[in-house]
Amino acid sequence: MSARGRSFAAGLLGVGLALGVLPLVGLPAFYESFLYLVFSWIALATSWAILSGYAGYFSFGHGAFFGAGMYTTATLTTALEVPFLATLPAAGGVAALLGAAIGAVVFRVKRLRGELFGLLTLAVTFVLATIVLNTRIDGGPGVYLSAVPLPRLVSSPTGTLYLLALGLAVGTVGMAWAVAHSRLGLGLFAIHDDEDVAEVEGVPTLAYKLVAFTVSAGVAGVAGGIHAMYVSYVTVGETFSITVPLYVVLMSVLGGARHWLGPAVGATIITASLYAFTGGQQAVLGRAVVAFVLIVVMLLLPEGVVPAILRRWRAWRPQRDAAAAAESLAAHGTAANAVAGTSAIGDRHVVGMGNTIDDGHPRAGTTPALECNDVWKAFGGIQALRGVSLTVAPGEIVGLVGPNGSGKTTLINVVSGHYAADRGRIALGAVTLTGRPAHEISSLGIGRTYQIPRPFAHFTAWENVALAATFGAARCSPQAARAEARAWLEFTGLGRRAAAMPHELNLHERKFLELARALAARPRVILLDEVLSGLNPGEVAGAIRLIRAIRERDVAILFVEHLMRAVLELSDRVVVLNEGEVIAEGSPHECVRAARVVEVYLGKAHVA
Amino acid sequence: MPSLTLLGQAVVSGLLAGGLYGLLALGLSLSWGLLRLVNLAHFALALLGAYLTYQLGVAFHLSPWLAAVIIVPVFFLLGVGLHAVFAYFRVTEFTSLLVTFGVTVIIESVIQWFWTADFRRYETPYATASTRVGPLFVPTLDLLACLTAAALALATWAWLRFSYVGKALRASAEDPAIAAAFGVNHRAQAFLLSGVSAAYAGIAGAFIALISTLAPSQIWAWVGVVFAVVIIGGLANPIGALLAGLLIGVSESVTMVVVTPAWAPLVSFSVLILLLIARPGRV
């Protein structure tokens, strides 16, 4: 565990223990009951945010998982007389299973958007409520748990429930922290910003969403199990009401759904302010006040309270912070140099990128790195690729040219796994790529850039590149990934911009960030989609030098480009596409003179 | 299996109830589809409209039709005001849902403050009036609500389809920047649409006051079903919202007769889930 992890765990445990002794020293039952509700909502809101806050899939189905847990405990304790504590794992398990099942169906829906996911999960809640209401699980009158014995952890029953909820809340916050600082969390944050790119960078998006949804549902189930005992009378109307799904959303968004502590802070604020107004007309007024505060906060601090406070805090102490950042950069810089010295980025590649060492350049004739064989792809009635075959050898630069709409970008999308080919075979060395999901293709060693740069908007330039190093073929640990990313930022000349957010970068920098990100994954084949378009002549010259330096690493390069000067200068071979077919292939100069190519670009020559 | 007459009566009541679903869905569908704002407060506005109709009738002996004449322009202004807040803070689709949730809770509190949480029933002479068609009874008020829903849906469809404003709104929903480049004043039209949508909530409210028993918590009773109707009908599709409302209404009331009343929600939400999974492009 990292030093930060140890100090976090110690702090969390300290808070947990301090709150845990309260029932022993005789906290009045009223406060126990109030704090129980706070802890319960913290567990619910924090668990919700693990999928919905981190990955941005807002679920309105948390009530379904909470209710599943409640009814599991209610049924087991009353109908089967299972001891209460033993039902809690079952409550969590049933809810987790439900989450996994819903996720397995819903996440396969193509083009699943946020609102769609929210509505689907809400609809599932209503369906579940109807089923519970009309079957023997409830049947209508509700379930009484008042006769169920409650084990005595401390002298009072409320004290016992208090401790259970506290334990769950502390455990959930600890888990939220751990996820946020893990590979899983990194992947979820990337899914939030751009799911397609995350997948292409090697994040197993489906598996990650499913894991997050299952965990999130499981915690809600346990919270429901405990709550069944707290209310001691379970009804469908109360359990599956709109309250739980809406409150967890409000609490998390108020506190800051992308931050591990945000939902806990939001839950505390909302529960406390609702509790402050109890009874009669005052409660009505209280609800209105809470709602008004919510509106104001949402309008003024849409990112949430915790991130907003952290931002102010950093702005308040700019000097200390800047010094720390510089120190950290220096430290990472050293680490990067160390990596560069020993690993494959070694001197020959980074330091000696100006050298023209020509040893071991496999040219045509060696085993191809990338091989496309008779690849077909149609979109509805439009045949985008008609049997494209091409190869790229290690260390070879192949230019892919053709008029607009000729299928160049489609080919890149099919090779990188974004679209599945209808027919044909694509292979990387001896490994078949066709039929694999994009993240697997990425980790096998295919990297790509996007014509219009698509950086993760909430990641710094450095984090963007580090993500690729974590999930791509490089498979670095998060620490190693930062060092690796640093080296690739230096390689592409973005070293000084490491801490910048993507929106602060200009087009040229964003294009190079795309390149750094693709390279950090350590691909064996890199697909460049118009990296030069929109750059000025000086920037183009820099980019051309960079692409040559990449080739020195025996990476196979397939680059799509309209800029003929760059194509002629860089390519070992050129493949010309038109209407989804290869119409010419050969040396750059041969190709641009071929009659068929001229005709495609300029039209048929008519003899006057 | 129930008798044919009972089944026929279920279809008739379903159609009439569905008209009200369609009427409620209409305003929601417009603002969601054309302004990309999910206005949860639409339900609260409708119920507020119902309570105002009730109050004007009980306290001032104003007929519901006159009450509607007062409520509609007031609600139009409320809608414009709500949109002014959204426009000023550049509210996104998702934030709009949370903000309007807050608005809904405030309106619910206001209703509870003035009218308490007790059930209220607006007794009018029309409440029990009905027409007899063969063996079937058609309650006059429900029929009127359904016809109003149909008329408004048709009018709105024609407005969006043929008028300049309608075309401009649809263009802006597709691509605000390009529409603006061609001279579309999206802001002014958004205010108009938001006002119209709130006015529809007011009209729906007048019918709710006449047809059903009022309680503040009723706001939430509509949310699930009407959202299902909006999505099944297709966003910003007035005729679709009406037809989806009728479909859900009939399927619910037939389920009530054939199975038991308690299973009714399962139908609409199962239809919604299947539709979302099979045709995700609708939202």
Whether A362 shows a pLDDT value over 60: the answer reads: no
- Partner-chain contact A115 B93, CB within 8 Å: yes
What percentage of chain A has pLDDT greater than the value 90?
36
Element spanning A559, H or E: strand A556-560
Percent of chain A with pLDDT over 70: 89
A266-279 pLDDT tens trace: 999 888 887 777 66
Segment A491-513 mean pLDDT: 90
- Please judge whether A131 and B266 are an interchain contact, meaning their C-beta atoms are less than 8 angstroms apart: yes
User: Residues A424, A427, A432, A438: is their CA dihedral positive or negative?
Assistant: negative
Cα nearest neighbour of B104 on chain A: A291
Per-residue tokens: A22: 């309260």
Query: For position A364, what pLDDT does the model report?
Result: 43
Q: What is the pLDDT of residue A589?
A: 82
- Per-residue pLDDT, A348: 33
Q: What is the mean pLDDT of residues A284-296?
A: 81
**Given CB atoms, is B86 within the 8 Å cutoff of chain A?**
no
Nearest CA in chain A to B87: A299
With contact defined as beta carbons under 8 Å apart, do A239 and A71 qualify? yes
Give dist(CA B197, CA B43) in Å, integer.
11
Instruction: Give the C-alpha separation, B263 to B50, whole Å.
Output: 28
Amino acid at the residue A606: H
- pLDDT of residue A155 exceeding 90: no
Residue B57 has which token pair? 């009738």
User: Is A290's CB within 8 Å of B105's CB?
Assistant: yes
CB contact under 8 A, A298 and B98: yes
Give the model confidence (pLDDT) of A211-252 as tens digits.
999 999 999 999 999 999 999 899 888 888 777 888 898 889
Residue of B nearest to A60 (CA): B224
Contact across the interface for B272 and A110, Cβ inside 8 Å: no
**Which residues on chain A are in Cβ contact (under 8 Å) with B266?**
127, 130-131
CA distances from B219 to A94, B205, B215, B225, B269 (A): 31, 11, 8, 12, 18
Strands A397-401 and A556-560: parallel
> Which of A127, A253, A292 has its CB closest to that of B270?
A127
Q: Could you tell me if B41 lies within 8 Å of chain A, comparing CB atoms? A: no
Is the pLDDT confidence value at B111 over 50? yes
* A interface residues, B as partner, C-beta within 8 Å: 58, 105-106, 109-116, 119-120, 122-124, 126-127, 129-131, 133-134, 140, 241-242, 246, 249-250, 253, 281, 284-285, 287-288, 290-292, 294-295, 298-300, 302
**Does the structure show a pLDDT above 70 at A520?**
yes
> pLDDT averaged over chain A?
84
Instruction: Report the distance separating Cα A426 and Cα A370, nearest Å.
Output: 7
Q: What is the pLDDT of residue A328?
A: 53
What is the bridge-based pairing of β-strands A370-379 and A382-392? antiparallel
Judging contacts by C-beta atoms under 8 Å, the chain A residues touching residue B39 are none
Q: What integer is the mean pLDDT of B183-205?
A: 90
Give the separation between CA B68 and CA B56, rounded to whole angstroms. Answer: 10
B273 vs A253: CB contact, 8 Å cut-off? Answer: no
Task: Give pLDDT, residue A351.
Answer: 33
Quick check: B98 contacting A, CB < 8 Å? yes
Q: Give the integer Cα–Cα distance in Å for A535 and B182.
A: 29
**How far B276 CA sits from the closest chain A CA (Å)?**
7
CA–centroid distance for A399 within its chain: 32
Give per-residue pLDDT as tens, A25-45: 777 888 888 999 999 999 999
State the Cα–Cα distance between residues A253 and A53, nearest whole angstrom.
8
CB contact under 8 A, B266 and A115: no
Size of interface A-B (CB pairs under 8 A): 109
ipTM: 0.84
Mean pLDDT over residues A577-605, rounded?
80
Q: Do A287 and B113 touch (CB under 8 A)?
A: no
Between residues B234 and B42, which one has the greater pLDDT?
A: B42
Residue A538 has pLDDT above 90, yes or no: no
Distance CA A187, CA A169 (A): 24
Q: Model-level pTM?
A: 0.82
Residue A334 pLDDT class (50, 70, 90 cuts):
very low
A208: distance to nearest CA of chain B, Å?
Answer: 21
